[in-house]
Structure 1
Amino acid sequence: MATTAEIVDKIAADQNLTKAQAKAIVDSVFKQIAEAAKTGAETNIPGFGKFKIKDMPEREARNPASGATIKVAASKKLSFTPAKAVKDALNG
C-alpha cells in the first residue's frame, strides 16, 4: 500500500522538489479529480486510467442483524477503470 506521504516523498525525490511543494501538487491533483466528480465529469489520465461517476439505483437490501428488508437510497459512486498499460503492468 502506498500512502499519500510515500507518494509525496517519491515525487519530491524524483522531481527535486521540497516535500511541501510535492504535497501541494499531490493534494491539488486529488482535489481536481474530486471537483470533476462532483460535477459528474469524467477524469481521463492517459496511461493511467479513468475516474467517472456511476449512478447507483435505489435497491433493496437485508439487515444482517435482524433479517429485515430495507431500502437503500439511490446514490452516486466514483469508479476507476485502469488504462491498458496499467492492466498489462499488473498482469505481465
Structure 2
Amino acid sequence: MVDLVPQIGCVAAVLACYLVLTWRPRRAQHARGGEGTVTVWQLVAHVEAERQERERAGRHRLRGPTVSTPDGPWPPLELQRRVLDGLRRL
C-alpha cells in the first residue's frame, strides 16, 4: 500500500493540472428576445431623449419643437453678414 502513494500523488497532480487548465466557470448566456425585450440601441435612444428633456428648462419646455428653415434653425447668411457689418461699424 505504501508503494502506491507516489503513483496516487502523480495521478492526483496530473488530474489537478488538467482541471486547472480546462475548467471554466459558467458564464451568463443571453436568452432569445421575446415580447417586450429592448435592444441596446433602444436603450441608448431612451437615455438620450431623457437627457435632452432634462436640458430643456423653464418656458422652453412649454413650446413645441423649433421649426427649422431650409438653411437651418439660424438666420439666413445675408442677415448674419449685415449684422456683422453693423457691429464692425460701431
* Same-fold call, TM cutoff 0.5: no
Quick one: higher RCO (CA 8 Å, sep 6+), 1 or 2?
Answer: 1
- Higher fraction of helix: 2
Q: Given the two structures, how large is their TM-score scaled by the length of structure 2?
A: 0.25
- Higher fraction of strand: 1
